Structure 1
Amino acid sequence: MKNKKLILVIAILAVVTLALGYINMRSINNAGTEEGTITFKWGENTAALSFEEITVIENHEFKAIEDTSTSGPASRKYKGVFLKDVLNRAGIDDSTIESATRVTVKGLDGYVIAMAAQEVLSDNVYLAFEKNGKPLGNMKNGGSGPFQLIAVSDSFSQRWCKYVIEVNLE
């Protein structure tokens, strides 16, 4: 009797897991209206910027240590814009950023990172769109973009976020 109940519970959990996985994959495939568009939310306000609107902001070349699960730490050359400059372009001024308790960045794959507003205002956090002189590419072609959030001071790349689609000030 106990074995039948255990098997039933395991079967139900398996079905629920499969259903939630399917729903998650559908939401990932349907997320975002356009490739490279990032949505910004603060208070009751929302704005969206396209790839073209973001990449015309003053660009910076910088080096960062990329450390992934498939490769050891290696210095890479990136090109991108400061996150604070992108937030300003979206209509969010520095005082609004500074008053936020945290800034969260969400990727298309569901990964979310949080950082302090003071870190965002520093010259340490970028939205990169090129790596070693080439576009980052997108999720479908095995890339990490079109935008990847990079916190240069994070030497283990744990607070980097690929496929950025949303930035929230809370």
Structure 2
Amino acid sequence: MSQNVPGFEELLRGCERSAVHLETRDVYAVDYEESGFAAWKAGHRHDPADRASWWRPWLDLVSETVGRSVIIRRARIVSEPVSEYIEFEHHSTFTNVAAGESVRWLPRRRASDLCLPGNDFWLFDDRLVRFNHFTGDGASAGGEMREEQAVVKLCSSAFEAVWERATPHEEFCV
């Protein structure tokens, strides 16, 4: 199925109330994250005092969106013990939190009885879902937009169930 999938900048700029993101993979190999992961493995760590060096322009967009009173929440379902990649994500998440996102973590074993979509997704204003497709090794395989009420309801219910069980970032230890 071929479709025009808007970028995250367009979707967040059009968002009025809420944007939620569910991540379910233990590794991602998308270009913008892969370079950060390689630097982290080589010993680079973000300096909390040097905000200009953080993940730009994403964090600027998050700050701007939250500044318009849009609530952004991210939930991550992870295997334990966590993968090296998840360790990297956890270490870097303070930048997302500083930009205004609320982030929680849920060990995969605690999600076994939840009904979850087959792919990571973003849900914008409880009306529009953007599924993220990945290859087996974590590379991006594109996105898919959906607006059907049943799909929106599934994603909303799944996210809220994960969010309720998940541990806030500040309390989650890897």
Normalised by the length of structure 1, the TM-score is: 0.24
Indicate the structure (1 or 2) with the bigger Cα radius of gyration.
1
Name the structure with the higher helix share.
Answer: 2
